Amino acid sequence: MVEGEETRKIQFTGKSSYIVSLPKQWIMELGLKQGDQIRMVRKGSSTLELYPPKFESRTQKKEDAVIEIDGEEEASAIVRKLISLYFLGFKTINVKPKNGRLSAHQRNTVKEAVKRMLMGSEIIADSSGGITVQVLVNLLELSVDGAFKRMIHLAKSMSSDAILAVKENNLELAQEVINTDDEVDRFGFYIIRQLKIAIQNEHMLKEMGFRNARNCLGYRLIVKNIERTGDHAAFIAKDIIEFKKPVKKEILKKLQEMNEFCLSVLDDSCLALFKEDYIQAEKTITKINEITKYEKKVRDASKSLKDDEEIYRIRRMTENIRRISEYASDIAEIVLNMNIEKTLKKSD
């Protein structure tokens, strides 16, 4: 029996009703009393959910939100408001003009943000008088773990493709890497939204597979690290678009080896996360220290460079790749914090 679980017998009363008693401690902790109404919801053929009145009023507040946009409001400010309300779990977001009507630019800003950033969202009404955004995604259609694994896969692919774009002097592939960064962010925003909902709802916390709310915080920090991994891959892609020339083969080979090492330790950290493996996380942190060996190889291969601009370029690419190992280390440390209790000796 898991924590917070009780077993009670169903009893028959009257001619057509069955009753189940609730533990007194639950009633007291929730601040309920005799006569309070409890909402009951049947979910499919195997689940019944009970919602106390306090929870009911809280969830109702999360249904709809209204943003009033000033005529001179900048696009970035509008996008930040949309993302914030998406994070808070609102199912419907109404964007309305404070005075007059929304400009064509403001409407396009909202539509582009919904398309690129807010997973599971659709625009169901669009006019100069306002835009209505509805979040259609079901909480359990895409699990946090499922979204997180896709996010990791995209970020790793970005990093590999960025190095390939440099190798081939492929501007088209570099642009694709930059575009994929939006997709990584979409998964990140979705996961953050789910985590916020889970923290506010103990039932959803268990449904999503979290032992406690503290683990949600751990995931939130890890998501940020994966987002940053994608960002640095995009920086490398922007480099090739800016300079429009390849890197010397000998140097590129060392950069590629360094990148592959960083992606391997990122894999190890995430595997430790999914396995909830404290020992694996410790080993990964130790392994990450080897990054200095790969950095030295890049420096040695770059000694023959004379052009200051080229030297700066290689240093910047090396820094962007090295950051991935730092994020892998951060993730491994978070895994340690999330699983430290497993290492404690149980007292008799």
In this prediction, residues 123-146 reach a mean pLDDT of 80
**Collapsed DSSP state (helix, strand, coil) of residue 132:** strand
Which of 32-36, 69-73, 95-99, 256-260 is the most confident on average? Answer: 256-260
38 and 72 assigned to the same domain: no
Residue pair 76/104 in contact by the 8 Å Cβ criterion: no
The answer to whether the CB of 294 falls within 8 A of the CB of 258 is: yes
pLDDT at residue 253, as a whole number: 95
Mean pLDDT to the nearest integer, 83-99? 89
> CATH number, domain at 125?
3.30.110.20
Residue indicated by tokens 């996380």: 281
* Residues 316-339: tens digit of each pLDDT: 999 999 999 999 999 999 999 988
Q: Are residues 74 and 110 in the same domain?
A: yes
**Dist. CA 271–CA 130, nearest whole Å:** 45
Same domain, 121 and 210: no
H-assigned helices in 62-103: 75-87
264-286 pLDDT tens trace: 999 999 999 999 999 999 999 99
Pick from 81-85, 214-218, 225-229 the range whose average pLDDT is largest: 225-229
**Residue 348 has which token pair?**
């008799």
Q: Within a domain: residue 345?
A: no
Mean pLDDT of 210-239: 90
Confidence class for position 1, pLDDT limits 50, 70, 90? very low
Per-residue pLDDT band for 94 (boundaries 50, 70, 90) equals: very high
Assess if residue 53 is contained within a domain.
yes
User: For residue 30, what pLDDT band results from cuts at 50, 70 and 90?
Assistant: confident
Residues 190 and 279 in one domain: yes
Work out the angle between the directed axes of helices 104-117 and 171-200 (0-180°, nearest 10): 80
The tally of domains found in the chain comes to: 3
pTM value is 0.74
Asked if residues 305 and 289 have their Cβ atoms less than 8 Å apart, the reply is: no
Torsion sign over Cα 182, 184, 187, 188: negative
Pair (220, 310) in one structural domain: yes
**Structural domain containing residue 245:** 144-339
Closest CA to 333 of 286, 263, 275: 286
245 and 296 both lie in a single domain: yes
On whether both 114 and 197 belong to a single domain, the answer is no
In which residue are the tokens 């942190």 written?
285
Would you place residue 45 in the very low, low, confident or very high pLDDT band (cuts 50, 70, 90)?
low
pLDDT tens-digit readout, 147-189: 899 999 999 999 999 999 999 999 999 999 999 999 999 999 9
Both 225 and 104 in a single domain?
no
Q: For 89-104, what is the mean pLDDT?
A: 88
- Nearest by Cα to 118 from 105, 132, 106, 135: 135
Does residue 316 share a domain with residue 300?
yes
Domain-located, residue 347: no
* Residue for token pair 């005799």: 34
Whole-number Å distance between alpha carbons of 75 and 81: 10
Residue with tokens 């909402």: 39
pLDDT attached to residue 212:
76
Burial label for 339, CB within 10 Å (0-12, 13-18, 19+), is: buried
Query: Which is more confident, 49 or 81?
Result: 81
Q: Tell me: do 291 and 231 sit in the same domain.
A: yes
Identify the domain boundary among 86, 113, 135: 135
Q: Do 119 and 46 sit in the same domain of this protein? A: no
Task: Report the chain's mean pLDDT, rounded to a whole number.
Answer: 86
The per-residue pLDDT for 140 is: 53
User: What would you report as the CA-atom Rg of the chain, rounded to the nearest whole angstrom?
Assistant: 25
Q: Is 346 among the domain residues?
A: no
Co-location of 223 and 128 in the same domain: no
Instruction: State percent of the chain over pLDDT 90.
Output: 49
Write the pLDDT tens digit of every residue in 6-16: 788 888 777 67
Smallest CA-to-CA distance from 73 within 103, 93, 108 is with 103
Residues 97-131 have pLDDT tens digits of 988 888 889 899 999 999 888 888 889 988 888 99
User: Quick one: tokens of 265?
Assistant: 């330790």
50 in any annotated domain = yes
